[in-house]
Structure 1
C-alpha cells in the first residue's frame, strides 16, 4: 500500500526469495597484497542517494546473512540419537532421582533406593538351602546382602552445542561475518532450548577454546563479536579441540553436539606444518574420529560456492552438510533501485 520501497522491504525480499536460491556466486579473489592506492574521495553532501544506497546494501546483506533454516538444531538432534555409539547422551546414574531403568546388584547404604521386589526374587531360589533354624520354621524369607538389588535410575544430561568456527583467511572476511551471523541465530535458538553453548575457533596454527560451556547468551555473543579473522587454516586442530571438549562433556553426563562452520580448505597440519595435502588428510582423520565417537555434528559450508572439500569432511563426520546461504547485496540493491519511483517523477 506504500508508494515507495523502503529498506525493510528489501530485507524481507532477501530473506524470503533470494537467500534460498543463492547457491552460485562469482568466485572471491584470493587474498594478496595490493599496491597502495589513493582513497576514494568522500561523498559530497549534495548526494544523499549515494548514502542511502550504501546503507541499503548493508541492511540487505545482514538480512540475507540471517536466512538459515528454522529447524537447523532440530535436524542436528535427529541426526544421531539411536544409541550411545550413534550420538545419544550417556545416562547419568543418580542414587535418588531419575526415571527407573531396571535394577542392579548393590547396597542401599550408599543412599540408593532398594528395589524390594527384585531383591526378593534374587533371594527366593536359595530359600531351601537357607532353611535352617527358627526362621525356616516361622516361614520367613532369609535375605542376605548378596541378594540386595537397588534401583538403577537415569536422567538425561543437558545438551551442549559446541560451535567450531573457522576464523582463518582461507575465505573472504565477509563470509566470516556471515558465519558469525549464522552462529548468532543458532545461539538464540540454543537459549530458547535451554542448551549450553561453547565456542571453539581455529586460525593461524592452533585452535582455541574461546568460551567454555555456558548458558549466558550475552557472554557468547560478546565472545563471538570479538573473534578476529585471518591466518592459516589448522582444521584438524579445530576438530580435535572440539572432539576433546565433547568427550569431557560426555564424561560429565552431558549431551554434546558439534556445529562446524568452515570452507573445508585446510592448509596447516596437526603438527603445525604447512601443506594443503597433509593438512586435508589430517582433517579427514579428525572428522572420522568424530564419527567413531558417535558425536552428533553438523557442517555449515562457509565457502562462496558449495565446496567438495567441505562435503568430504561432512561425510567423514557422518554429519549433515549445509551450504551457508548468501545473497548478492549489490544485485538486490540494483533491483530495488529499479523498482523504486524516480526522484524526478
Structure 2
C-alpha cells in the first residue's frame, strides 16, 4: 500500500531490459557494431519518451531519477540565467529535491519565494502572479503532490509563466503514468520524471528541457546527452523506463478506473469505520491511487510499525524523509497542527492491488487505531468528557 514510494518492475519491463545487459551491452558512444546497437536503442527510447510527452526527441535528457532531474532543472536555469535575474518561485509543499535545491541557491545569492497553499494543498494563482518580479527567472511547481496527491492547476501556471517570459518547471514524478501530459499544451519548459514510480527500474529518470531554455550543463566530462550530462548512458535502464512509460499510457484509462474505484472504497471504509479521521488533500483533484488521512490521537511511527507487523506497507509521507520524526512539511503548510500532522497515514494504490486488500487494510487499521488510542491519555480524556 505504498506505491508512491516505489513500484515493482513489471515483467514486460524486465524482459525488455535483459537483452541490453547480455547481448546488446555496448557503449553507445562506440562506433563499432556493439556501440551502434546500443545507440539505436538509446535513440529509439528518446523518440518514444518524447512522443508520450508531446516533445521532440532532442528535448529529452536521461538522468538517474527524479531528484537529479529536479536539481538539474532548477540549478541549471538559475546559473544559466543569472544575467537576467536571481528570483525563483516555488511552493511550500514541494518534494525535498526541489526545496533543498532552492535552499542551496538561497545560500548562493538567489532569492526564493515559497508560495502558501490552502487547506487542500492547492496554490492560489493570484499569489503566484503577485510574487512575480522583474528578476523572476523560474517558477517550479509540483504537478501532483507526493504526499497528499493534490493536482495543481498546471495549465494555468504555464500560461502565467509564458505571459511573463519566465521558465516553468514541474516535478511530475507522481503525475507521470497517472495523467495525460502534453508539454506544449501546458506551456511546460522543464519536466522531471522517474521510472520506479511507474513499474520501471530504479536509478533512471528523464528531464524534458524545451529547446529554447538556457541552462548550465549538469555533469561535466564526456559529450553524452548533447554535452549537458556526461557519463555513459545506462541503456538497460533507459529501455526499461521507456517500456514502463509505453505500458502506462497504453493502459491509462483502465489503470485510473481501477485505482479510483479502490481509492474511493478505501477512503469511505476508513471514514465509516474509524472515528476522528481527517482526509488530507483535495477531495476531487487528486491522484487516482492516493489516500492520505490524519488519525487523531495517534503517533505515525507506532502506526506504521503496527501495520508492518500485519503485512501492510504504508507511509506517513514522502519515502525520502521516512527516517525523520518531524511531521510532514506538506501537512504543516496546509494548516494542520503538529499533533494531528504526526498521525498522518499515506496509503497509495497501484496496479497490483486488489479489492479484497482494501477490506484487510481497514479491518487491521481499525484494530491498530483502537489499540493505540487505548494507550493515549488525550483520547482517554476525550472519552471521559463525552
TM-score, normalised relative to structure 1? 0.23
TM-score, normalised relative to structure 2? 0.22
Greater strand proportion: 1
Structure whose alpha-carbon radius of gyration is higher: 1
